[in-house]
Amino acid sequence: MKNLFRTKDIVALQQETDGDNGLKRTLTATNLVALGIGAIIGAGLFVRTAAAAANNAGPAVTIGFVIAGIGCALAGLCYAEFASMIPIAGSAYTYSYATLGELVAWIIGWDLVLEYALGAATVAIAWSEYLNKLLSTFFHTSIPYQWCHSPFEHSVDGVSGMMNIPALVILLLLSLLLIKGTKESASINGLIVVTKVAIVILFIGFGWSFINPANHTPFIPPAQTYVDSQNVPHNFGGVLGILGAAGVVFFAFIGFDAVSTAAQEAKNPKKDMPIGILGSLAICTVLYLLFAYVLTGVASTEDFRSTGREASVAFAIETYMTGFGWLAKLVTVAILAGFSSVILVMLLGQSRVFYSMSRDGLIPKVFSDLHPKFRTPYKSNMILFVFVGLFAAFVPGDIVGDMTSIGTLFAFMLVCVGVIIMRKKNPNLERGFRTPLVPLVPILGIIVCGAMIYGLGWPNWVRLFIWLAIGFVIYFGYSARNSKLNKKS
């Protein structure tokens, strides 16, 4: 059993980037901040905010954002230290391999599939919702319900979904773009980010005067159980409701850690990675708090449970912000573009994690095969399209989104543990950025992220357990034998 906890040597990790066969170093600190904002501002803000208000906390979803932001900041400080110290593709997977051993690295790598792959599926489902809103607004038509929803969903009229085709289409287009190259993807993402942030600021600025104080009363609803339209019970109001909301909107912060997966493609990772991670997180946290306060003030909790459940931001503008129909149209277009950038970064992150795991022998070589011209893991991108597409087409967005949140929270907790262990094992190792107040900051990160996992409820705990159990079967059936470290020992 000792070999299950073998670790990779950090010097060897750093040498992996040498030579001409590695990923291209093309990204600057500005590219990385834009990459982070591009991943962070998306479905979490424009879709999960309304879902958390409807199912968990009402207007107190703003407090949920505060808790989620604190958890991300604490974990972000730990991520920044690792990313500046180990500038290799793979994110928390690579960090865990260097600190906690191969078995834990496998667990976290498998867990990151929930964050990146299912995160991309969640946003693709949200993209489908807003595409329908755009078609309705500009062309007075829409995609039939059954062809833009999963088989486990039904409309208020009783129509059952069959397959989410728009979600599949956007995943395919962005997978092909990623194959073309990271630099090209980052350039397009930069244009989208500017538009997306502008829309958020416009909504906050114009929507503030349309806030109805009655929608914020009571700001923290009394604790109760709410059963949604799909007959799923939720803790609503009180402490558990707020923790549940924090776990749901935590999805809105996923993205700053995706910056770390591009470490091997950063020009100056020791300087640029901390800037990319913490800079994007700080900018987005401020925007989130203001956005959530305005959205829950303009429209009511009941709106988000019924007619405003899908494309909630555009609904709130059209219904309550008189004279701003143009903004609703602009928001719909911008959100579609914004969601596209989020999917792009999620798919990028997942392919880079698989790239690292494949190079270590834990998954087949096909995941690290690079395109002879574009130098991108093109085979991995296409395999991921099929996997992510199945979830996007056939699983409801709320379930996929909560699985993404709980998987990411678990990954964050392991990164926090890794910082503490690394300070003990290698205190003198060069670090471009040092997490302050160790072990206090990592311990607080573990506590806050653990509280959000608790708030997500037992159905999500069970799904995480099942997912990890499948991962153990794969590890002991394939990965342990094929690991490059195992072959060396």
> Tell me: the pLDDT tens digits for 101-120?
888 889 888 988 887 899 89
Report d(CA 304, CA 228) in Å as an integer. 11
Report d(CA 299, CA 307) in Å as an integer. 11
| pLDDT value at 488 more than 80 | no
Positive or negative, the Cα torsion across 51, 213, 209, 282? negative
Q: What is the pLDDT of residue 420?
A: 92
Q: How many residues does the chain have?
A: 489
Q: Which of 69-78, 133-142, 269-278 has the weakest average pLDDT?
A: 269-278
Three-class DSSP labels, 58-107: HHHHHHHHHHHHHHHHHHHHHHHHHHHHCCCCCCHHHHHHHHCCHHHHHH
Mean pLDDT (whole number) for 203-215: 95
Query: Between the CA of residue 458 and those of 455, 477, 487, what are the distances in Å?
Result: 9, 28, 40
Q: Encode pLDDT of 409-421 as tens digits.
A: 998 898 899 899 8
The mean pLDDT value of the chain amounts to 84
| pLDDT value at 20 more than 50 | no
| pLDDT value at 22 more than 70 | no
| pLDDT value at 38 more than 60 | yes
Counting residues of the chain whose pLDDT is more than 70, the rounded percentage is: 89
| Chain Cα centroid distance, residue 315 | 24
Q: What is the pLDDT of residue 130?
A: 86
Nearest alpha carbon to residue 475 among 229, 162, 109: 109
Q: Which of 18-27, 45-54, 188-197 has the weakest average pLDDT?
A: 18-27
Nearest alpha carbon to residue 354 among 89, 14, 84, 70: 89
What is the C-alpha end-to-end distance of the chain, expressed in Å?
13
Identify the structural domains of the chain with CATH numbers, from first to last. 30-483 (1.20.1740.10)
Q: What is the pLDDT of residue 477?
A: 92
| pLDDT value at 68 more than 70 | yes
Scan for tokens 């912060």, then name that residue: 253
What are the start-end ranges of the E strands in 212-287? 224-227, 233-236
| pLDDT value at 460 more than 50 | yes
Q: What angle do CA 129, 135, 136 make, to 5 degrees?
A: 90
Nearest alpha carbon to residue 75 among 417, 366, 474, 477: 417
Report d(CA 236, CA 304) in Å as an integer. 14
CB atoms within 10 A of CB 370: 16
Query: Between the CA of residue 113 and those of 250, 259, 374, 403, what are the distances in Å?
Result: 17, 16, 24, 10
Q: What is the pLDDT of residue 21?
A: 46
Alpha-helical runs (H) found in 360-457: 378-394, 397-425, 440-455
Q: How would residue 387 be classed by pLDDT, with cut points 50, 70 and 90?
A: very high
